[in-house]
């Protein structure tokens, strides 16, 4: 198709009538489809149904002879820490196993840092007005934690290989900048993978704050959509090699691996950071659910079993991502109406619509029975300055529903772009 901006006025108006007619017909179908959240679909959860039979009646003794029914083993079972150590890139001795939500672990780290400081702090973070660096577009739940606790957010653009490191290094010179959100592999929502050079620079950069922390969220590290595994540099090793061994807090979970509501969450870091974390956690809990830890161990068995399980997820998810791309390609290629990511992993597709149209696209989709994540949600405080970014979440609906919804989304994006071009020409 010819670029919308290059069409003569008469052809643009004709196209507008045609696409409006197609949109009205789509809306008349009375659909009700939800593409808002990156939740596992029921058939993904079914992959782990066998886990609910474990650990089984009488199977509650750990490898070390602990009774998993009782209190204790605050750090988590050693055999479970060993199973998930490759995911975090940390030795088992430097991993903490929590209950199902890694977001809760991030929350605790922020609260404890604000109240107590972290190793290397001269005072609690909350004594000043701390700031976090936020690569954009990014994860709304990360931004919500900063909003909740009054942490200023400083945005930096993503480059396709991670954050713009020149911008990051400029910001970290300020001692009030205490942390940075990072989703280093299959980033939410762009799907990009941090390059080795990006990891090296993050580990080695100078910071004005001696207690600066990278909040390294490995939420999607094993959620591949292709045969490409995209290994990334180990952030803990890089920090240690650069003389900043305490710089990174690493988080992960099995929320999108096994059962989202009954998974395991993990914290991995340096020995000093782990000691800090466990000192705080000791006041908060007498131990996480060790029976659930055993359940995961019995079901997954080893790293090879974990990878086989993830192959099952890929088989279910890859066709849904392909359906979105097919619909976008069919409607939008060559029009100039949008550009979008083609991720090799993760849970989302990031799309940049014509500037000034993202909110209109969401409204058009809503009127046509399609629920999309709110425009602006991938930016701090919900404020996308270009009103262009959309996060498409194809994981939860069925493949048939994703196929239909993607057709409607592409139609809404195209119609909004045409309307925008028409308005610009009228404004002259």
pLDDT tens column, 131-146: 999 999 999 999 999 9
Closest by Cα among 214, 202, 284 to 242: 202
Integer Cα distance of 285 and 263 in angstroms: 18
The packing angle between helices 290-300 and 78-88, to 10°, is 70
Hey, what CATH topology would domain 4-45+307-427 get? Answer: 3.90.1150
Half-sphere exposure of 317 (CA within 13 A, CB side): 30
Q: In what order do the strands lie in the sheet with 177-182?
A: 95-98, 265-268, 248-253, 213-217, 177-182, 131-136, 152-157
Closest by Cα among 372, 301, 233 to 50: 301
Integer Cα distance of 105 and 217 in angstroms: 11
Helix (H, G, I), strand (E, B) or coil at 27: helix
Torsion of CA 283, 64, 303, 300, to 10 degrees: -90
Spans of the chain, pLDDT less than 50: none
In the structure encoding, which two tokens stand for residue 297, read together?
């161990």
Cβ proximity of 40 and 256 under 8 Å: yes
Helix (H, G, I), strand (E, B) or coil at 294: helix
Residues forming beta bridges with residue 213, ordered by sequence position: 179
Q: What is the pLDDT of residue 361?
A: 98
Cβ proximity of 415 and 332 under 8 Å: no
DSSP state of 286: S
28 exposed, middle or buried (CB, 10 Å; 0-12, 13-18, 19+)? exposed
Q: What is the CATH number of domain 61-300?
A: 3.40.640.10
Q: What is the pLDDT of residue 330?
A: 97
Contacts of 179 (CB under 8 A, 6+ apart): 113, 130, 132, 133, 212, 213, 214, 215
The H or E element spanning position 178 is: strand 177-182
Closest by Cα among 268, 271, 233, 272 to 249: 268
Integer Cα distance of 420 and 105 in angstroms: 43
Q: What is the pLDDT of residue 37?
A: 85
- Which residue do the tokens 């990156």 mark? 38
Write out the residue limits of the CATH 3.90.1150.10 domain(s) in the chain.
4-45+307-427
Helix (H, G, I), strand (E, B) or coil at 250: strand
In the structure encoding, which two tokens stand for residue 136, read together?
């954009």
DSSP state of 288: -
Residue 109 CB neighbour total at 10 angstroms? 23
Write out the residue limits of the CATH 3.40.640.10 domain(s) in the chain.
61-300
Cβ proximity of 196 and 232 under 8 Å: yes
In the structure encoding, which two tokens stand for residue 296, read together?
């995961």
Closest by Cα among 420, 410, 320 to 365: 410
- For residue 180, CA distances in Å to 156, 247, 370 come to 10, 10, 34
């Amino acid at each position: 198709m010819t670029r919308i901006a290059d069409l003569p006025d008469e052809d643009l108006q004709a196209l507008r009538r045609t696409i409006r007619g197609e949109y009205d017909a789509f809306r008349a179908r009375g659909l009700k489809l939800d593409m808002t959240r990156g939740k596992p679909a029921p058939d993904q959860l079914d992959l782990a149904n066998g886990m609910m039979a474990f650990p089984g009646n009488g199977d509650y003794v750990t490898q070390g002879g602990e009774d998993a029914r009782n209190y204790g083993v605050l750090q988590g079972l050693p055999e479970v820490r060993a199973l998930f150590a490759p995911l975090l890139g940390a030795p088992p001795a430097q991993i903490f196993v929590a209950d199902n939500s890694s977001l809760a672990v991030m929350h605790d780290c922020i609260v404890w840092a604000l109240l107590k400081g972290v190793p290397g702090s001269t005072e609690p973070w909350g004594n000043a007005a701390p700031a976090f660096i936020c690569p954009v577009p990014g994860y709304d739940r990360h931004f919500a934690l900063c909003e909740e606790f009054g942490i200023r957010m400083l945005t930096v653009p993503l480059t396709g290989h991670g954050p713009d490191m020149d911008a990051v290094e400029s910001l970290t010179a300020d001692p009030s900048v205490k942390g940075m959100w990072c989703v280093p592999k299959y980033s939410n929502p762009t799907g990009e993978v941090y390059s080795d050079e990006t990891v090296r620079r993050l580990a080695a950069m100078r910071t004005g704050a001696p207690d600066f922390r990278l909040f390294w969220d490995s939420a999607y590290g094993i959620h591949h959509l292709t045969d490409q595994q995209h290994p990334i540099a180990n952030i803990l090793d890089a920090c240690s090699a650069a003389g900043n061994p305490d710089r990174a807090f690493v988080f992960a979970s099995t929320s999108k691996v096994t059962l989202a509501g009954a998974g395991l969450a993990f914290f991995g870091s340096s020995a000093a950071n782990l000691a800090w974390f466990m000192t705080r956690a000791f006041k908060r809990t007498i131990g996480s659910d060790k029976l659930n830890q055993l359940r995961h161990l019995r079901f997954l068995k080893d790293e090879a079993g974990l990878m086989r399980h993830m192959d099952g997820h890929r088989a279910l998810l890859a066709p849904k991502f392909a359906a979105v791309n097919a619909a976008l390609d069919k409607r939008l290629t060559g029009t100039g109406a949008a550009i979008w990511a083609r991720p090799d992993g993760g849970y989302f597709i990031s799309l940049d619509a014509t500037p000034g149209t993202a909110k209109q696209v969401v409204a058009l989709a809503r009127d046509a029975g399609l629920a999309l994540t709110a425009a602006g949600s991938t930016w701090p405080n919900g404020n996308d300055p270009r009103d262009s970014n959309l996060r498409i979440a194809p994981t939860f609906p069925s493949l048939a529903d994703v196929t239909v919804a993607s057709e409607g989304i592409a139609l809404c994006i195209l119609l909004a772009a045409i309307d925008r071009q028409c308005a610009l020409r009228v404004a002259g």
